[in-house]
Amino acid sequence: MTETKIPPLHVQSSGSGTPVLLIHGFPFTSRMWQPQLHGLADTCQILAPDLPGFGDSPAAPPPHTVDALAQACIAVLDAQGIRGPAVVGGLSMGGYIALAIARLYPERLRGLMLLSTRAGADGAEAKANRDKGIATAQEQGPAPAGEGMFPKLLAPGNYAAQPQTAEELKGIMAGATTEGVVMALTAMRDRPDSTPLLSSIRVPTLVVHGEEDQVIPKSEAEAMAAAIPNSQLQLIPNAGHVPNLEQAEKFNEVVAAFIRSVNT
Ligand code: MLT
């Protein structure tokens, strides 16, 4: 059993077969994976935890690090009795945690999915912005974190083209708590640079990125895919930072093909 001080995470699950852990981004919850929980249930067993202080998971005691979060995610697999390797995917902050899993628990990986994410650590300016975000959350609660991100989450044209996706995102972000936002910003601020890890990743890796991601430029995805030996890059047109919601059908098609390929 993986030792963790983090209380067990609340998990949404669907399907059966190859276990696939999906780790949400910031400041989201497992609800962001609804189209995958429904659309991929015929392909695999999806396990989508709420990170501590988000959705239905309790807050975590310190240390607030991506390594502690990686450990809590591996404990989700343990709790399900999944000892063999699983496919681990994470979107944005979830990708930072997936990379920590690749570093700390390579034996638990059958495949890796790096979704709307990057390998590098925060620079000085990004760290200062995390500090501001932490102070704001402590003073005003969790809402400003989501409000600050909202205008950048979708591809610019999708706010008008997909008002229901924009509304859904607001609903998802309502599941953040102050403790969760402070923990996540702290963990992201202090995360290590995963760039040196990339060339040592041995499992098949799928890198997915929205062509119009305004949070993390697609050049980051291109660089990760170029550095990981057994990887493929899928750029999704008409999608921003949340291609799993903006182009759910295309996203599910790409992920299903990848999961089938790691099983052959
Ligand atoms: C996320 O979408 O998880 C975050 O925007 C990532 C970040 O702030 O670095």
**What is the whole-number distance in angstroms between the Cα of residue 22 and the centre of ligand 1?**
15
What number does the ligand 1 atom closest to the CA of 118 have?
Answer: 9
Percent of the chain with pLDDT over 90: 97
Domain locations in the chain as residue ranges? 11-263
Task: Give 36's pLDDT tier (boundaries 50, 70, 90).
Answer: very high
pLDDT at 42: 96
Beta strands of 124-260 (E only): which ranges? 205-210, 231-236
Task: Give 224's pLDDT tier (boundaries 50, 70, 90).
Answer: very high
Judge whether residue 1 has pLDDT over 70.
Answer: no
Between CA 154 and CA 150 the distance in angstroms is 8
> Is residue 130 a contact partner of residue 148, using CB atoms and an 8 Å limit?
no
Question: What number is the average pLDDT over the span 159-171?
Answer: 98
Report residues whose beta carbon is within 6 angstroms of any ligand 1 atom: 25-26, 92-93, 188, 215
Question: What number is the average pLDDT over the span 24-52?
Answer: 98
pLDDT at 147: 97
pLDDT tens-digit profile of 228-251? 999 999 999 999 999 999 999 999
Question: What number is the average pLDDT over the span 18-40?
Answer: 98
What number does the ligand 1 atom closest to the CA of 91 have?
Answer: 3
What number does the ligand 1 atom closest to the CA of 94 have?
Answer: 3
> Of 22, 26, 125, which is best to mutate to test ligand 1, by the most ligand atoms within 8 angstroms of its C-beta?
26
The Cβ of residue 132 has, within 10 Å, a number of other Cβ atoms equal to 11
Q: What CATH class is the domain 11-263?
A: alpha beta
Between CA 256 and CA 259 the distance in angstroms is 5
Q: Is 148 helix (H, G, I), strand (E, B) or coil?
A: helix
**What is the whole-number distance in angstroms between the Cα of residue 70 and the centre of ligand 1?**
16
What number does the ligand 1 atom closest to the CA of 215 have?
Answer: 5
